[in-house]
Structure 1
Amino acid sequence: MEAAAYKLPVPPQGHGAPVTLYFLTGKNYWYQTAFCLWSFAAASKRPLSPTLFDDGSLEKIYIEPIQRIFPSLHVVSAAESLARLDEYLPQNRYPSLRARRLAYPHLKKLLDLHVGQTGYRLQMDSDLLFFKRPDCLLNWYDNPQCPLRAEDIANAYGYPLNMLAELSGYSSVPERVNAGLLGLRSEDFDWDKMEYWCRELLARQGPSYYQEQALLAMLLAGRACIVPDEKQYLIRPEPPEALRCEAVMHHYVAESRRWYYQHNWRRFGVPQNNRKLINSTVS
C-alpha cells in the first residue's frame, strides 16, 4: 500500500468549489492519508485542497507524493503548530493540555488543528476510504451551521458518562462520539474549560487512550450536531460489507484493518491486475 501511494495517479478532475480536508499525519500514516484523499476526490467529484498538520515526522519524502496529485496541498509544520500553541495556549496557563499533548499525540487533532484558528474545519483520520459520493459531508461543508461528528459503534470515552456530564455542566453528554470524522468550528473551543476537563479527568481517573473522545463529548454537550448515517459512514466494517464496500465510507479500526490492508485500498488509483506496481519497492 505504501509503495503504491508513491505512484498514485492524479484523481479524476472534479467540478465545483474545492473542498479543504484537514489531517494530522506523519511518516506512519502519510500513505493512508493519500488513499483517503484519493478516494474522497474520486467519490465526491470535487477538487480538493488538503491541509496536513505535521505530527512531527512528516518529511519531504512523504509530502511530495501527495503534493504531486494534489498540487494545492498546504502543510502546517510541527514548528508552526508549536509556535501557535505557545502564543495562544502557553504552557504556564494550560499545563495539563500541553503536557498531555506530548504524552498523548491524539490530542494534537484538537489542539494543533484548532488553537488560534477560525471557521469550520472538516477533519478526518487517515484510515478512511470513500466508495460513494459523501453527500452528507458535502452538504455540511457547503453550508455548515453546527458541528458534525461520526457515530461510533459504542461509547469509547475511557471515563464514566456521569463524570463527563458533571464536568460539562449538562445533564448528559452525547453518546458514541467518534473522533475519526469531525466538522468543528475552531471558535467553539473554550480552552479554559478544556484545560479544566483535561486536568480533572487525569486527577480523578488517570489517562485514557480515548480521552480525546471524552473531551469531544463534553465539548459537544448541549449542541445540535449533524450525524451521518452510521450504516453509510461505517466504523469497523464487518463481512460481507467489509468486502462489498456498498456503504459511502469505511473507517478501519480494530480487527477491520485486515480488510483495509489486504483488499480495499486496491480499489483506488491502481488497476487491480497491476500486481507489479502494487508489489514494487520504492526506489
Structure 2
Amino acid sequence: MSTLIRKLKLGRLFYLLYHRPIEWLNALVAAGGPFEQRRTERGKMQMELAASQLPVLPTGTGPAIELHLLTGRKFWYQTAFCLWSFARQAGRPLHPVIYDDGTLESVHRDALSRLFPSTQFIAQREAIARLDQWLPADRFPVLRERWQNYPNIRKLIDPHIGSQGWKLVIDSDLLFFRRPDLILSWCDQPERPLHAVDCETSYGYTRNLMNELAGTPVADLVNVGLTGLESSSLDWEKLEHWCSVLITRERTNYYLEQALIAMLTAGRACTIAPAADYVTLPIEPEASDCRAVMHHYVAGSKRHYFQQNWRRLLTDRTAGA
C-alpha cells in the first residue's frame, strides 16, 4: 500500500509539473490563440447570465426521464443548458438528480430548481455518508483517494453506490438539437449498458493491461459523456483492484474513469449512441450547422460551445424535430 500511496503522490506531482503546463498550452492552441480565448471567456460569462434567465418549459407528457449529473459552482450553468435543451427536444417531464461537488450554492440550486422543480440534489455530505457506509476507507483506500482527488470518478461512484436499478449519467457540456430518441427508448426500457462514442480512443492506460484486468478485449472509442449502467451489477471490490493495479503499474491518469467504464462494458452487448447523431468533439461544418441530435463539447470544440451554440438554442424553432 505504501508503494501505491507514493505512486498517487508522484502521479499528482508529475501532473502538476509536466502535464498541467502542457494542457494549458494545448488549450490555448485549441482555443484559437489569445484573442479567441478571450472571446470564449466572454461567451462563457454571457452563457452563465443567460442560464439564470432561461424560460421555464412546458412540463411535457409521458413518464419522467431521470438523468444523473455531477456539477458545481463552475459548471451549474452548463448543467442548466444541457438539461433545458434535452427537455425541450424530448418533450417529456424531466427528473434530474444532481450530485453537488461541494461548491454549489443556494443561488445555483434555486436557478436549477426554477427550471426543473423535481430536481433532486445530493449534497456532498450525503455522498460522503454513503461512501462511509458502502466504501469504507479501510477496505477501499484507492477508490476513496480517487474520489477525494479525482472528481471524475464521482460520476461512476456517487449515482451507483448502495443503489439498485439502471441509471443514465451524463456530462454537463452537452447540448441537444434534435429529439434524443435513442436515449428516451433506453430510459423507458433499459436492458443493457449504454455509452457514447469518442472521437479517438482515450483511456490513458495500455490496452494489454486493461484487457488483462477485464479478462476480455476492451472496445475502442468508449466515451462517458453518456453512460448507462445497472447499479447492482457493479463489483466495487473489482473496481478497487482495477484502480490499484492500473495506478501501481502505470500511474494515475485523467482518463481513469473512462478506462474503467470501457473495462466494465468489455465483452458485453451495449447500446451505443451513434457517433453521427451523438457527436463527441464536433468539427466544421457540423460544429456550426448543428444537424446532429447532440454535441459533446470537449477539447477544441469549446469555443463553438461558448461563443455561439448555446445562443442558437434560444432562437432555434426545431424543438422535438
- Mark yes or no: TM-score above 0.5: yes
Matched, 1:222 2:222: no
Residue 15 of structure 1: which of 43, 57, 61 is its match? 61
> Which residue matches 1:149?
195
Q: Secondary structure at the match of 2:283?
A: coil
Q: Secondary structure at the match of 1:114?
A: coil
Give structure 1 regions of 4+ aligned residues with deviation exceeding 2 angstroms: none
> Which residue matches 1:83?
129
Higher helix share goes to which structure? Answer: 2
- How far has the Cα of 1:117 moved from its partner? 1.1
Q: Secondary structure at the match of 2:220?
A: coil
1:245, 1:68 → 2: CA distance? 27
- How far has the Cα of 1:271 moved from its partner? 5.0
Render the CA deviation track for 1:178-217: whole Å, top value 9, x for unaligned.
Answer: 1111111111110000000000001001000101111111
> Which residue matches 1:275?
none
- How far has the Cα of 1:12 moved from its partner? 3.3
Render the CA deviation track for 1:134-181: whole Å, top value 9, x for unaligned.
Answer: 0011111100000000011111000011110001122x0122111111
> Which residue matches 1:201?
246
Give the CA RMSD over aligned residues.
Answer: 1.0
Q: Secondary structure at the match of 1:136?
A: helix
Matched, 1:236 2:296: no
TM-score normalised to the size of structure 1?
A: 0.94
Q: Secondary structure at the match of 2:272?
A: coil
Matched, 1:64 2:122: no
Figure out how many residues of one structure are paired with residues of the other and give that number: 270
TM-score normalised to the size of structure 2?
A: 0.83
2:129, 2:167 → 1: CA distance? 20
5+ residue gaps, structure 2, are 1-46, 317-321
- What pairs up with 1:1-283 in 2 under 5 angstroms? 1-170=47-216, 172-268=217-313, 270=314
Q: Secondary structure at the match of 2:154?
A: helix
1:241, 1:11 → 2: CA distance? 26
5+ residue gaps, structure 1, are 273-283
> Which residue matches 1:278?
none
Give % identity: 51
